[in-house]
Amino acid sequence: MSKNTLDPDLRVSASSVYFDSLLSTTDIFLDGYRPSALICLSYGPSRLTEFARSRKKSLVGLPESCFGALPPSSTEPAGSE
């Protein structure tokens, strides 16, 4: 069992390639981004489902946000507290 933690800039191609390689082998994905941020970066639920299907194994997604899932907090910029 191993644990990998990273803070990629998914707007950069090299980071996306590395992130894709991790997703192809991971079982649990802890998402610390704001609600809908991963969708904007092309890693929404449908893409994550594709990764799970391609390896014929489930992917557990755990969204975590100290901003909440609903406005107004979910739309505030980071560090605005």
* pLDDT, mean of each 10-residue run, the chain (81 residues): 74 89 86 81 89 89 73 62 50
User: Given this model, what pLDDT does residue 31 score?
Assistant: 81
User: Given this model, what pLDDT does residue 8 score?
Assistant: 79
- Could you tell me the pTM of the whole model? 0.66
User: Given this model, what pLDDT does residue 79 score?
Assistant: 55
User: Given this model, what pLDDT does residue 73 score?
Assistant: 67
Q: For 48, phi and psi rounded to 5 degrees?
A: -65, -35
User: Given this model, what pLDDT does residue 74 score?
Assistant: 64
- Is residue 23 within 8 A of residue 51, CB to CB? The reply is yes
